[in-house]
Amino acid sequence: MKKFMLLLIAAFMISVLAACGTSESEGSNGDSGNSGDGGSGEETPTYTVATDANFKPFEYKNPDTGEMVGFDIELLRAIAEDQGFKVEFQTMQFDGLLASMRSGKHDIGIAGISITEERKEFIDFSDSYYDSGLILAVPQDSDIESIEDVSGKNVGARQGSTSESYLQDNTDAEITAYPEIVTAYMNLERGRFRRGVI
């Protein structure tokens, strides 16, 4: 099943990448996925990949090595190895990643990006490979029992995410948007704010 999914995504991505061209990019936070020309004598194409640095378990920096790891990272590395190209990861905040994809600055973006009709206007998505949905997290002693209970309350969300858009479109909550969602969870866990996080 895993091999089938990788091949399916690889087939789609290589068609997208063929239209993107190649990019030799530098950056202190880059992370090359593989190297070499496979013995063909031709230079292996390198694609720059915009990603988040703090969105476990999909993509995050290993605190011991500083290397990018996670489900999305390993998936893209496997595709690159199978299809014979190199990847260079460049980390940024999630809303900056979407702006980069809109402008065409990066060849690929991978960061647990939800597929929406609005984003389809400027991003060519692969087939979806993870159905995440949305969930509301609250303190254990909270009186919030559903999303209908957040009106007038402060709710944290990842900046530029579908969670933030959902809150804006479907609730009257006071929204605090965080560049890194882990900050919202830490604030919630430590009881600094009596709020929910979506």
Domain of residue 16, CATH code: 3.40.190.10
- Pick the residue with more confidence: 181 or 161? 161
Could you give the number of structural domains in the chain?
Answer: 2
Identify whether 101 is part of a domain.
Answer: yes
Residue 36 has pLDDT above 80, yes or no: no
Identify whether 76 is part of a domain.
Answer: yes
Q: Residues 45, 85: one domain? A: yes
Identify whether 132 is part of a domain.
Answer: no
Q: Residues 92, 178: one domain? A: no
Beta bridge pairs of residue 175: 155
Per-residue pLDDT tens for 171-185?
999 999 888 878 888
pLDDT score at 31: 56
Per-residue pLDDT tens for 57-95?
999 999 999 999 999 999 999 999 999 999 999 999 888
Q: What is the mean pLDDT of residues 120-127?
A: 92
Distance CA 49, CA 41 (A): 25
Identify whether 112 is part of a domain.
Answer: yes
For 152, the domain range is 147-197
Identify whether 139 is part of a domain.
Answer: no
Which tokens go with 184?
A: 């919202």
Beta bridge pairs of residue 156: 176, 197
Report H helices in 43-174: 71-83, 94-103, 117-120, 162-170
CB 158 within 8 A of CB 178: yes
- Pick the residue with more confidence: 182 or 25? 182
Q: Residues 16, 113: one domain? A: yes
Q: Residues 25, 116: one domain? A: yes
Look at the pTM and tell me if it is higher than 0.95. Answer: no
